């Protein structure tokens, strides 16, 4: 039975943090005129909401309740994606390194993943959806019309994150960022539930030496070849 009952076209973009998934996904969604699902934000939001409501990260049942009742939206304003939790813009608050670490812990809890599964599938509405995450093509949208696995070397991803943080006026050690990325990769690829890996029918694209516009162009061409380009 199809998991994508809406018949809306779905592009999944999976891969490790720092490969460019978020930027590429929002640009493709804007170009196509499609909806956007930032699934990684759902785990960050669950961790953030848990802290806000006094739920411990070791409380699996409590985390699942928080996940099932998340009041979340991803409006696009002037080309930029906002993340709203309970009507508040928490886009910056959930993007810190600490928030990422907490989200990775929350994402490893099976009850949380189950609570968020149907919510993620509900994002697949016409005219189409770009789903950005780590298990979009393998678990959430196994029938997606096009599945992409973006990757890049850990060193390049650490450099990108370091540049982002410096641009934002935050001080960070490149060596410690690389260590954190490698630890997160190990945890995400080795977890028993929905480990990070390409779907069997995914197109893998290494972005280490590609610019964001080059990646967007390649994905747009792939959508066109699959008959999924909207022509917007």
Which backbone phi and psi does 24 adopt, to 5 degrees?
-65, -45
| 18-44: pLDDT as tens digits | 899 988 999 999 889 898 998 889 999
List the beta bridge partners of residue 199.
none
16 is an annotated ligand-binding site residue: yes
19 is an annotated ligand-binding site residue: yes
Whole-prediction pTM: 0.81
125 is an annotated ligand-binding site residue: no
Domain map (residue ranges) of the chain:
10-222
d(CA 51, CA 48): 5
Residue with tokens 């630890």: 183
128 is an annotated ligand-binding site residue: no
Mode of pairing for the β-strands spanning 80-81 and 76-77: antiparallel
| 134-148: pLDDT as tens digits | 889 999 999 999 999
- Kindly indicate the confidence band of residue 107, based on its pLDDT and cuts at 50, 70 and 90: confident
List the beta bridge partners of residue 203.
148
Instruction: Give the residue-averaged pLDDT of 194-210.
Output: 93
147 is an annotated ligand-binding site residue: no
- Total Cβ atoms within 10 A of residue 39: 23
Say what the pLDDT of residue 2 is. 44
Mode of pairing for the β-strands spanning 146-151 and 203-206: parallel
In CATH terms, the fold of domain 10-222 is: Rossmann fold (3.40.50)
DSSP code of residue 118: H
Q: Are 166 and 172 in contact (CB under 8 A)?
A: yes
d(CA 107, CA 163): 26
Residue with tokens 């848990």: 50
């Amino acid at each position: 039975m199809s998991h994508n009952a809406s018949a809306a076209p779905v592009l999944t973009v999976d891969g490790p943090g720092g490969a460019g998934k978020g930027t590429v996904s929002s640009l493709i969604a804007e170009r196509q005129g499609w909806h956007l699902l930032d699934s990684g934000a759902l785990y960050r939001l669950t961790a953030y909401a848990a802290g806000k409501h006094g739920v411990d990260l070791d409380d699996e049942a409590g985390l699942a309740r928080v996940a099932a009742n998340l009041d979340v939206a991803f409006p696009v304003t002037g080309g930029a994606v906002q993340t709203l939790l309970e009507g508040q813009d928490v886009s910056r608050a959930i993007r810190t390194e600490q928030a990422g670490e907490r989200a990775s812990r929350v994402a490893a809890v099976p009850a949380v993943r189950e609570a968020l599964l149907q919510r993620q599938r509900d994002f697949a509405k016409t005219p189409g959806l770009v789903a950005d995450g780590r298990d979009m093509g393998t678990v959430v949208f196994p029938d997606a019309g096009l599945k992409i696995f973006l990757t890049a070397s850990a060193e390049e991803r650490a450099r990108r994150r370091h540049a982002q943080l410096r641009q934002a006026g935050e001080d960070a050690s490149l060596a410690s960022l690389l260590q954190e990325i490698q630890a997160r990769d190990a945890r995400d690829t080795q977890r028993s539930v929905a480990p990070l890996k390409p779907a069997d029918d995914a197109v893998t694209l290494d972005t280490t030496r590609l610019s964001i516009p080059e990646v967007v162009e390649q994905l747009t061409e792939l959508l066109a070849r699959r008959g999924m380009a909207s022509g917007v």
